[in-house]
Amino acid sequence: MRGICGIYNFTKDEEIKREVLSEMLKAISHRGPDGSDAVCFNKAALGYNFLNIDKPQEHCLVNENGSIALVLNGRIYNGKELRAELEAKGYSFRSNSDEEVMLHLYEDKGRDFAKYLNGQFAIALYDENNGELLLIRDHVGVSPLYYSVIDGRVVFGSEIKAILEFPNAPRKLNLKAVDQLMNFPGVVAPVTFFKDIFAVRGGHMLSFKNGSAEDICYWDMTYPQEENEDLGRDYYEENLRELLKKAIDRRFNCDTPAGFYISGGLDSSVVACYIDKFFEGNKYSFSAKIGSGDLDESRFQQIIKDNITSENFEIKVAEGEILENLNKVVYYAESGIKESYDTAAYLLSELVQQSPVRAVLTGQGSDEFFCGYVGYMLDQFRNMQRNQITAEEQEINRRLWGDPFFRYERNHPEIRETHAKVYSKEIFEKLPEFSALNESPIDLKMVEGLSDQKRRSYIDSKLRLQDHLLAEHGDRMFAAHAIEGRHPFLDLDVLNFVAKMPDKYKLNGTNEKYIVKRAGRGIVPEEILKRKKFPFQAPGMSSLVKSADKLPYLDEKLIKKYGIFDADYVNELKKIYSQDDFVLKGAYQIDYLLIVMTVTMLCEHYNLTV
Position 387 scores a pLDDT of 84
pTM (two decimals): 0.96
Q: Is the pLDDT of residue 503 over 80?
A: yes
d(CA 5, CA 56): 17
DSSP string, 68-87: EEEEEEEEETTHHHHHHHHH
Residue 53, pLDDT score: 67
58 vs 49: CA distance, rounded Å? 14
pLDDT value at position 544?
A: 79
Residue in 407, 451, 487 with CA at minimum distance from that of residue 141: 487
Question: Would you give the DSSP letter of residue 281?
Answer: S
Using the 8-state DSSP alphabet, how is residue 524 labeled? S
| Overall average pLDDT of the 413-423 stretch | 96
Residue 28 Cα to chain centre, angstroms: 18
Peptide bond into 190 cis (omega under 30): yes
Mean pLDDT score, 380-385: 81
C-alpha 366/C-alpha 363 separation (Å) is: 6
Taking only the tens place, the pLDDT of each residue in 524-559 is 999 999 987 666 566 777 777 877 778 889 999 999
Model pLDDT, residue 256: 75
Of 50, 158, 148, the closest CA to residue 471 belongs to: 158
Asked if residue 3 lies in contact with residue 158, where contact means CB atoms within 8 angstroms, the answer is yes
pLDDT at residue 536, rounded to an integer: 58
pLDDT in tens, 149-183: 999 999 999 999 999 999 999 999 999 999 999 99
Q: What is the mean pLDDT of residues 108-115?
A: 97
CA atoms of 101 and 555, how far apart (whole Å) = 53
pLDDT band at residue 27 under the 50/70/90 scheme: very high
Distances in Å between the Cα of 38 and the Cα atoms of 9, 46, 186 are 16, 5, 33
pLDDT at residue 489 is higher than 60: yes
Q: Are 346 and 328 in contact (CB under 8 A)?
A: yes
Strands 311-317 and 284-290: parallel
Task: Fill in the amino acid letter for 411.
Answer: N
* pLDDT of amino acid 249: 96
CA atoms within a 13 Å half-sphere pointing along the CA-CB vector of 584:
26
